[in-house]
Structure formats: C-alpha cells, structure tokens
Structure 1
Amino acid sequence: MNEKEGSCAFKKHKHENVPRSQRKEEKGSGVGSSSSMVIAFKSFQHELDTKHDKYERLVKLGRDITIESKRTIFILHRIISDPNKDGVLTEAENKLDVVRLKIKQVAQELVGEDLYQYNRAFTPGLQEYVEAVTFQHFIKTRCLLCLEDINKPLIFEEEKSDVKSTSIELLDDPLIPVLEKKQSNPNILSLQVTPVDYLLGVADLTGELMRLCIGSVGNGDIDTPFELGQFLREIFDGFSYIGNTGPYEISRKLYALKQSLAKVENACYTLKVRGSEIPKHMLADLFSTKSELMEHDEDIS
C-alpha cells in the first residue's frame, strides 16, 4: 500500500467512526435563508445599495448644476458687446432659475440624510453656482454678493403630503424590516451653500472678472479695468487673512487669484502709460500676449 492509498483509508476510517446522528447534525447546521444573520446582511446590502444609488443621482445633478452655471457665465460675458444689456441679464436670470430647480432636486434627495455624507457629490456644482450668481450680481451692482443673499433663494416649498415615506421590502421577505424615511418639515426644502463653497466660488469669480477686463478693453471700454482692479485687490486682501489656514483648495485657488490680479493690474498699467500710443482694437491682443509671457515665466520659476 502506497502513501496515498494509506491516507485515503485513514480518512475513510475516521469518517466511519463518527456516529450517523452527529453527521446529520453537522449537515443541518448550515445558515438558512431565514436566519437572523442573513436577514441582517440583506438589510445592510439594501442600505448600501440605496446610498450608492443616491450618491450617483447627486453626482449627475451636480454635473447638471455645473453645466447650467457655466452657460450662465457665458451668457453674462456677452454683455460686453451686446447693446441689449437688460436682455442679457434677463436671460442669465432665467438660466439661474433652471439651476435652482436642480438644486431643489438635490435638496429633495437629501431629505432625512446627513449632508456631509454626500457633500462631495455636488459641491463642485454649488461652487460653480456661486461663481455664476456673484458674477451676475457684480455686473449689476459692482458689489460682491454675500453668503446670506445667496442662500435666501435656495429655500423651496414642497407641494407634497405631510409625510414622505419610502417603503421597500427586501426580496419579499416579511422578516426583513421595512425601510422608512420621514420628513420633519415637509413643506420646506433647503440646501444652503457652506462658507467653504462660497469662498471657493468667489475665488473662481476672479478669473471671470479678469476675462471681463480683457474683453472690455478690446471693446474700447477703458473704465471697467480700473474698477475691476480695485475690486480684485479688495478680494485678494480678504483672502490674505485666511492664508494657508483653510482647505487645500483655497490655497490653490489663491494662486490663481494672484495671477488674475496681476493680469488686471498689468492692463491698468498699460492703459495708463501707453493707452494713448496703442489703438484700442490692439490693446486686447497686447494684454493677451503679456499674460502668456507672465504665465510662462511663472512656470519656469
């Protein structure tokens, strides 16, 4: 008898020594589909799937908010050359109403949920919305829109029943608990912009103001760059108080703010010193060339 046959005989002999009743108990000791452990894990599975699906829906809504906000900014840039400025502002306001409807859908998804569990899904969209609405406000008033005024239009009324509940049974098993979601104040929905999103949106606003400055000069407007230069310096002073104490995104966007301010100040300097020497239709090209040279020098350093 070789070694392999000996081991098989040993296993068979060991199995025969176990009583038949004990072997039946071992076979029947498997976890059944109605056990409490399986029910608990099915409940966990459903909860995780629900959260993941909600997160994906919020990502799509955040992407829609970003796209519509960018379209609003593109519309507002037309105010440089469009003689019907009131029509441009009205069209931009209509676009912002569409964005607020998307934000309302985000608020509906977050009913009864922790905001900060899903904040990363739509926070880029809120920052883009802040950029668009502050840009519109600056064009109209030459002032910065505060956080409180941004959040006021983001309070919505919900036209539904007093209690909003969602009940789903898992795998039609009556032992699995039913999931319910109730709304404490169902007539009011709100999604407030956080201070961090506000700061990041204002930092992005400076880039649009720099583009507005260059476009204004190309259109023959030599007063707007000086207004924008003073406004950007005030924003830069405000961000200087924050410094590197805030989130990483603020420090990164502060660098872009410095670049925008330098380009606007360069435009103001050129207008003041050489404005009478260079034709107005060539000033925008001159600023663009100098901006590219500045960016190239900064990349090298």
Structure 2
Amino acid sequence: MKKYILVLGIIVSCLIISCKNFTSENSITSDGISKPQAPNAIGPPRVLFIGNNQTEYFVSAPTLFQELCNANNKNVNVQQLITMGVPLDKVYYTNKTEANQNFSTIDKDGNYYDFVILQESPQIALTNLEKYRSNLKLIAEKIHKNSPDVAIYVYQNMTPLPYTDSDYTNYYKELRKNTILATAFIKNAGILKIGDAVKDAYRGKNGYNYLKNSTDHLCYGQNTPHFLNDGGFLQAVLLYNTIFEEKPIIPKKLILSTGTGDNDNMRKQEVSKAISDPVALEEIAFSNR
C-alpha cells in the first residue's frame, strides 16, 4: 500500500506540472481553494446534492442541512440525486431521466440551481484524477445549460482509512490535492472542506474527542467509513457555514441515526444527547468554511 501511495504521489506531481500549461477558470487562493460566488436568486435558492454514501447513509446531509436552514429562517429548496456506492457519472446515468428534467428547467432569474454539491466516490477521488475531472465536467456542463452562474462546491472526501492507520495522513494529502486539481477547471467552483474538518476533529481540535467508551463517534464502516451522528452534524454545519458565512442556531432536535444496525433508521432526536460535543464540532466546522 505504501508503494502504491508513493507511485500515486509521483503521478499526481507530474499532473501538477502539466497543469501549469493551462489557465484555470477559478481564482485560486494561497492554499489552492477558491470561493464561488452565488448568483442573485429571485425566490428561495435551490441547493442540489449529487453524490453517494458520504452524502447519505446512516445520516443524511441534505436532510440535516434543510433542518438547519428551517431553524434559522433560511428559505431554501433542497434537492438530491443520490446513488449508493458509485462515482458521479454513474449517479447521473442512474438518475438520468430525473436529472435531465431538472437540469433543463428554467428559472426567471436565469439560474434554476443556485448551489450544487458534487461528491465523487473516494476511490475515484483518490486514484484517478482524470476521471475525477471528467466526471465533474460532465455534471457541470449539464447544469450550466440552465444554471450558468451556479455556485458549485466539490466535496473533499474524508480519508477511507481509520484515523489510527499509518497511511491516514498520506491518503488525506492525496485526496486534498486531487480535489484542488479537479476543481480548478470548473467554472465558479470551490471546495467543501469535509476532509479538512474531519481530520481536525480526529486531531482533537477545540477539545473534541472522537472516542467515547473506545468507540469512534465520527464514522463507522469496515471498508468504507460512513458518517455517524457526530460526523453528519459536522458535515451539515460546515455546509451551512460555507454557504451563509455564519454559524447557525442549532435546534434542540435534528433527524439523526438511531444506530448502525439493519433495524436502525433516522428519526428526530435531541442534539444534546445524540451528538457527543456539538459546541466543539460547530467550531471545527466554522474554522473550515
């Protein structure tokens, strides 16, 4: 695995050099991440999630984001195209009829969608930069037909390894680098820094402790990590912070997971009981907006 990471690092380095021959459509900041500008919306802005398991599994990013918006009197229309376990192009083709119908809809302000969150599969994001770019381009070109000024946020995947794994940091760095390189050529696009926020949480920023009774409260999964309540809460608050540039008022209850078993599901639960340290997670999210 370490040899694989080394080879991958060399390939990515070559790709970085080759990218210097092109002009990016975005203004890249000192850390390589730009901030897209949202279009002026007439009426409630529309937010579209396109992705797979990290967007929705034990908990739902679209649902939690909608709940935060409702609790803070932010009138938004949240939509989603989610297919489990596949890359972005397969998400599109699996939902092609619905996607094409939505992408072709016209709004009087000139943009049907105002914000789009694109979550590529971790495997593609980590190992196949060209496929990562082409999948983002595929979706962006279809959305741009009737939402030319949409603000696109590319989802920075979290590392698909336990935090205790010796290769965790190597995977994190490659995912971050590839996300920056893939995003740079998409019009009016920036990065939703999920991977950075999760790494900060695992490192104990703002006093957060991901372990409780020797159990990871951020993520769970044997081969692919999926967000538990703490991770889902962090993800939703980070998106709210990123779009609105402010901290949300957290409602007393949110729709969260009851567990990881086959008979568990999502239902309204008290945040103070279902989230181990909401205050610390809020601060981590805000610092990564």
Common fold by TM > 0.5: no
- TM bucket (normalised to shorter chain) is under 0.3
Higher strand share: 2
Give me the TM-score of the superposition, normalised by structure 2.
0.25
**Higher alpha-carbon Rg:** 1
